[in-house]
Amino acid sequence: MPTITGTLTEIAGGHLAGQYPEVVFTLNKTGTTESTIYPTEPAKVTPASDGSFSVNLADTTKMLDDSWYTMSIQWLDGAANYNRIDYPDWKIRVPTAGGPIGNLRGNGSNLSMVYVSKTPPANPVPFMLWLQQDPANPDPYDPDNTGKLYRWENV
C-alpha cells in the first residue's frame, strides 16, 4: 500500500507542547477494486515529537468507485483519553506512488480544477485536468473546439 507522509507543526517546541495528537484517515465509503474490498475502518498514526508522520493507505485511484480519505486530528490527554477533534476539510486521493500529504489533498468538496490552454500547465497538481485546445481552432468559446482532456495522477 502507498505510504503517505506529513507533518503537524509546532508539536515539540510550540504551543502544542504537551498535547497528544493522533492523525486519523478514513475512507469516505467502502472501497473496492476488482479483487479487494477496503473497509472504512480508520487508519490511525501518532506523530513523532517533531510532528512528522507516515501511514500506509490504500490506492484510491485503483478503486472502482470515487473514493478518498478524510483526515481528522484527535487530541488526547495525558492518559490517552479523547479530548477534542479537528476536521480539516480535505479529500485525500492516494495514488500508487503515495507521497507527501500536501500534494495529495484537495480543499473542500470541489477537486475539479481544469486548465484550458494549448500547452500543459507548468505546475500541475494531482487530479488536475488539462483541456488542450485544438490548435486549428483556438477559440475556447467555440463549441466546435474539441481538444483533448488529460488528467494528472502522479505529479
Q: What are phi and psi of 18, to 5 degrees?
A: 90, -5
Taking residues 78-82, what's their average pLDDT? Answer: 70
Entry pTM: 0.65
Amino acid at 58: A
The answer to whether 5 touches 92, Cβ cutoff 8 Å, is no
Digit-coded pLDDT (tens) for 136-153: 776 766 666 667 888 877
Domain boundaries, the chain: 3-104, 112-155
pLDDT digits (tens, 9 = 90+) for 14-63: 555 667 888 899 999 999 998 999 999 999 998 887 788 999 999 998 89
DSSP code string of 76-105:
E-TTS-EEEEE---EEE---TT-EEHHHHE
- HSE, CB side, 13 Å, CA atoms: give it for residue 67: 23
Q: What is the DSSP letter of 147?
A: -
